[in-house]
Amino acid sequence: MDPSTTGTRTSARRGRRRRGLAAAAALVLGGTLLSACGSEGKPTLNWYINPDGQATLTQLAERCSTDQYDIKINLLPASATDQRTQLARRLAAEDSSTDLMSLDPVFVAEFANADWLAEFTGDQAGQAVDDQDTLAGSAETVKWEDKIFAVPQWANTQVLWYRKSLAEAAGLDMSQPVTWDQVIDAASSQGGTVGVQANRYEGYVVWINALIEGAGGNIIDPDTAEDGRDAKVTIDSQAGKDAAAVIQKLADSPARQPDLTTSNEGTSLGAMYPADGPGEFMTSWTFVYKNYVDLLGQPGGPADEQQLDDLGFARYPQTVQGEESKPPIGGIDIGVGAYGKHVDWAKEAALCVSDPEAQLELAVNDGLMPSRSSVYEEQRLREAYPAELLDLWRQSIDSGGPRPKSAFYSQISNAVQARWHSPASVDPDSTPERSQQFLEDVLSGKALL
């Protein structure tokens, strides 16, 4: 090898290399600039929303933007777990651009405990939660250690949706509270089905929790839930067994939908108005009504007005005969990121996007029900929904059974999913006991999740 040629070639190479690196550096810089734009002029408040009611939320963001700031919508993924992951990652990174966020109520405790949320104090606290007006079930979700860390924007609850003709054919009197047993039997006697949420996800825990609460028990002793890792696990109880018995019964019943183990709020919608068959009983959230109204005459929806009239609703079924049911509570709370550059403005904006007017819009347009009692009296809402349905929802939210309020809720939920999924494997004699042990191990950091 000739050293001189090597040398020349290398310098030629080096020239190329230098230019190459420069180009690369320019590209990297360009990328950084691209991803960090939007800092000039009026400040922008970033609001991370979940996909429910996007169009209305976009309008709200416009209405609540002021001369001082603009509110920009950023869409989060569809599942509650993914939403939490996305937000928590930003907040753990002390991200200053997370100003407003739509939070599933179950994650407020965790976020507040990690100091990720700005506290609402003074007048603002009074506006966030109006003791006279805010429904108890919703108000409770935004409090952590007796301080207020978010604003309830809308409230959600589940009721029992069903085809009146199906209940009638089965001879089930829906004017009285019904039990899960009765519902499953009624459906299977007529070749109908029962729609629930039992995929391995948060929605399944919603069901399990409602069943346990409805039997007078809890997953975690509510008095100790705020103690975090030291909370007392109470899932292995008669109530836990009663809940497991319901799940087992459905899993073994012909009324089970084929995709039971992967079911979610969407999968059972289509079974209400099937091409043939008598339809279903389904426990699901408030959006269901609007969904079917909008689907009138379309596939998956009621064929005509008569079929729409056949859609019945009743209070969430009882786990145990005679014991009042505890419907699930959900909804969205608006939290303000603790590391934002404009925390005060963000709080102002959070109150604005959750004010009575905003709640009315969300309810009328998207079927996302108000967390304030007074909004249920609004004429526009009364026109959009049957009065009995509005009253049923309001009552359900006020008397619902919330999920454990723990800074470790995400672990608790995952641990319950791990032991209670698949529904086909649930057994009253062993599932509550096994999940008790596992939950204790997980909370004390002795088990992997």
Partner 1 sequence: MSTVTAPRTEPGDQGARKGVKPPVSDRARAENSLGRKLVAPAIVLMLLVTAFPMLRALYLSLFDYSLTAPDDRAFIGIDNYVTALTDGLFWKTTANTVFIMVVTVVVELVIGFAFAMVMHRVIFARGLIRTSILIPYGIITVVSGFAWQFAFSNTNGFINSWLPFVGDDFNWFAEYPSSIAAIMLSEIWKTTPFMSLLLLAGLAQVSEDMLEAAKVDGATWWQRLTRVILPNMRAAIMVAVLFRALDAYRIFDNIFVMTAGANGTESISFLTYRQVIEQFQLGIGSALSVLLFISVIIVAAVIVKVFRVDLAAARQEG
Partner 2 sequence: MKQKVGLVVGVLFVLAWCLLPVAWIISLSFKTQESVTVGNPGFFPAEGTNAGLDNYRSVLDNGQFLDAIRNSIGISLIATFLSVVIATLAAYAIARLEFQGKKFVLTMALVIAMFPVVSLVGPLFDMWRAIGIYDTWPGLIIPYMSFTLPLAIWTLSAFFREIPWEMEQAAQVDGATSWQAFRRVIVPLAAPGVFTAAILTFFFAWNDFVFGISLTSTEAARPIPAALSFFVGADPFNRPASLLAAAAVVATIPIVVIVLIFQRKIVAGLTSGAVKG
> Which residues of this chain interact with partner 1, rule CB under 8 A?
1, 3, 6, 10, 81, 85, 88-89, 92, 110, 113-114, 199-201, 258-262, 267, 270, 407, 410-411, 414, 421-422, 424, 445-449
Q: Of partner 1, partner 2, none, which one does residue 258 interact with (CB within 5 to 8 Å by kind)?
A: partner 1
234 alpha-carbon distance from chain centroid: 23
Q: For the segment 133-152, give every residue that binds partner 2 (CB under 8 A).
A: none
CA dist., res. 359 & res. 60, Å (int): 10
Strand partners of residue 147? 144
Give whichever of 156 and 406 is closer to partner 1, judged by the CB atom: 406
Q: How many CB atoms lie within 10 A of CB 72?
A: 17
Give whichever of 6 and 32 is closer to partner 1, judged by the CB atom: 6
Q: Does 18 bind partner 2 (CB under 8 A)?
A: no
CA dist., res. 332 & res. 47, Å (int): 13
Q: Of partner 2, partner 1, none, which one does residue 4 interact with (CB within 5 to 8 Å by kind)?
A: partner 2
CB 325 within 8 A of CB 332: no
Binds partner 2 (CB under 8 A): choice among 84, 90, 241, 421: 90
CA dist., res. 434 & res. 417, Å (int): 12
Give whichever of 116 and 438 is closer to partner 2, judged by the CB atom: 116
Q: How far is the CB of 107 from partner 1 (least distance, A)?
A: 10
CA dist., res. 368 & res. 219, Å (int): 27
Q: Does 341 bind partner 2 (CB under 8 A)?
A: no
Give whichever of 25 and 387 is closer to partner 2, judged by the CB atom: 25
Q: For the segment 262-281, give every residue that binds partner 2 (CB under 8 A).
A: 264-267, 269-270
Q: Of partner 1, partner 2, none, which one does residue 42 interact with (CB within 5 to 8 Å by kind)?
A: none
CA dist., res. 436 & res. 109, Å (int): 22
Give whichever of 64 and 194 is closer to partner 1, judged by the CB atom: 194
Contact range with partner 2 by CB under 8 A, out of 86-94, 235-243, 314-322, 402-410: 86-94
388 alpha-carbon distance from chain centroid: 24
CB 319 within 8 A of CB 215: yes
357 alpha-carbon distance from chain centroid: 22
Binds partner 2 (CB under 8 A): choice among 66, 70, 82, 343: 82
Q: Of partner 1, partner 2, none, which one does residue 333 interact with (CB within 5 to 8 Å by kind)?
A: none
Strand partners of residue 48? 74, 101
- Residues 34-63 as b/e (b if ≥16 CB within 10 A, e otherwise) read eeeeeeeeeebbbbbbbebbeebbeebbee
Q: 210-249 mask for partner 2 (x: CB under 8 A)?
A: ----------------------------------------
Count interface residues toward partner 2 (CB under 8 A). 43
Could you list the beta-strand ranges (E) of 164-294.
193-195, 280-284
Give whichever of 20 and 31 is closer to partner 1, judged by the CB atom: 20
Q: Does 17 bind partner 2 (CB under 8 A)?
A: yes
Non-local CB neighbours of 314 within 8 Å, separated by 6+ positions: 159, 160, 162, 174, 177, 178, 392
C-alpha neighbours within 13 Å on the C-beta side of residue 4: 0
- Residues 312-349 as b/e (b if ≥16 CB within 10 A, e otherwise) read bbbbbbbbbeebebbbbbbbbbbbbbbbbebeebbbbb
Q: Of partner 1, partner 2, none, which one does residue 114 interact with (CB within 5 to 8 Å by kind)?
A: partner 1
Cα angle value 180/191/183 (rounded, 5°) = 10
Q: Of partner 2, partner 1, none, which one does residue 75 interact with (CB within 5 to 8 Å by kind)?
A: partner 2
Q: For the segment 280-299, give every residue that binds partner 2 (CB under 8 A).
A: 298-299
Residues that bind partner 2 (CB under 8 A): 2, 4-5, 8-9, 12-13, 17, 20-21, 23-24, 27-28, 31-32, 34-36, 51-52, 74-75, 77-78, 82, 86-87, 89-90, 92-95, 264-267, 269-270, 298-300
